[in-house]
Amino acid sequence: MAMRQTPLTCSGHTRPVVDLAFSGITPYGYFLISACKDGKPMLRQGDTGDWIGTFLGHKGAVWGATLNKDATKAATAAADFTAKVWDAVSGDELMTLAHKHIVKTVDFTQDSNYLLTGGQDKLLRIYDLNKPEAEPKEISGHTSGIKKALWCSEDKQILSADDKTVRLWDHATMTEVKSLNFNMSVSSMEYIPEGEILVITYGRSIAFHSAVSLDPIKSFEAPATINSASLHPEKEFLVAGGEDFKLYKYDYNSGEELESYKGHFGPIHCVRFSPDGELYASGSEDGTLRLWQTVVGKTYGLWKCVLPEEDSGELAKPKISFPETAEEELEEIAAENSDSIYSSTPEVKA
């Protein structure tokens, strides 16, 4: 029976959402952080989109955001020439790392002891979070502003992307190992540790490379300019979104387009699979995040599959179910924390 995709819409931001990241799976589930040009990154429960809190402190657009594996720390990169590290449980700001230009990207090591940053000054910086007063290590070599920088190979190497180049660096020697050059601007980069796969988007292309050697694995062409793509944890599917407001889902092995959905009212800037692969999140120029089911119709999170009556001619569709007391509980939480990081409660709706 045909099923209709019913995304969850997470509102609350007032400007375009430009980056998002999931934590790993913790004893409390998994979490989602979003970066927005409104300067107010938000933390949400990953499987439902329920708002947990807003990190307040930046004085400019936030371009990058990430969580460590166990979701105890968050890091953000902003146009106010700073990167900030936060306690993701309390919402408290732990440290501000001053830069000389706009910061675009942040990434924790697996042990959360070091933070990698990159931005418009073309330098990669490595901060020892146990010694915040110490000067960071710096790696130079990029010829334009850095868009994304990621730890890879168990933090022994670093991947970074500027306008038309992706570079692989050795952490120990702080030297460049190899680089890839593209004939158009690189729009996004995702690193998959299981299998050491690098996902790169540029123009209409979605390319897969070895994260160890940068050798090409395969590539797909999309019908529109793609801004972001993500590979399913089990490497069955990939999703991509871009300038035509649509999300595309492809079979990773064959490259066949399986589905496409239009739900956003502006270009899609970022898309990522959840760590369990059950959903993917997208952030858009329209100021919203949307959560989409990987397998449409499966009962998961707030989705509950409801079959129509026989011979009604209706499509089966997932129903969005909310706990009866959810709204009251959220109001109580907001009231209790009115003087802390929490602001008015954003909505999650179908």
Q: How confident is the model at residue 113 (pLDDT cuts 50, 70, 90)?
A: very high
Query: 271 pairs with which residues across the strands?
Result: 282
N-terminal to C-terminal alpha carbon distance within the chain:
21
What mean pLDDT do residues 187-210 have? 96
What's the rounded Cα separation, in Å, for the pair 147 and 160? 8
Structure tokens at 326: 């959810």
- Looking at the chain, list the stretches that DSSP marks H as alpha helix, in order from N- to C-terminal side: 326-336
Residue 306, pLDDT score: 73
What's the rounded Cα separation, in Å, for the pair 243 and 227? 7
Structure tokens at 212: 């160890």
Q: Are strands 42-45 and 165-170 parallel, antiparallel or unpaired?
A: unpaired
Structure tokens at 15: 């400007």
The residues near 350 (Cβ < 8 Å, ≥ 6 apart) are: 6, 7, 8, 9, 320
Average pLDDT, the chain: 89
Residue 308, pLDDT score: 64
Q: What are phi and psi of 132, to 5 degrees?
A: -60, -20
What mean pLDDT do residues 27-36 have? 97
> Do 159 and 211 contact (CB within 8 A), yes or no?
yes
Write out pLDDT tens, residues 266-307.
Answer: 999 999 999 999 999 999 999 999 999 999 989 999 998 776
Write out pLDDT tens, residues 177-189.
Answer: 999 999 999 999 9
Cβ neighbourhood burial of 227 (10 Å; 0-12, 13-18, 19+): buried
Q: How confident is the model at residue 98 (pLDDT cuts 50, 70, 90)?
A: very high
What's the rounded Cα separation, in Å, for the pair 259 and 65? 28
Q: How confident is the model at residue 319 (pLDDT cuts 50, 70, 90)?
A: low
DSSP-assigned states of every residue in 268-288: EEEEEE-TTSSEEEEEETTS-
The label of the residue with tokens 């915040």 reads 132
Residue 317, pLDDT score: 54
335 pLDDT higher than 60? no
115 pLDDT higher than 90? yes
What mean pLDDT do residues 5-20 have? 95
What's the rounded Cα separation, in Å, for the pair 278 and 258? 16
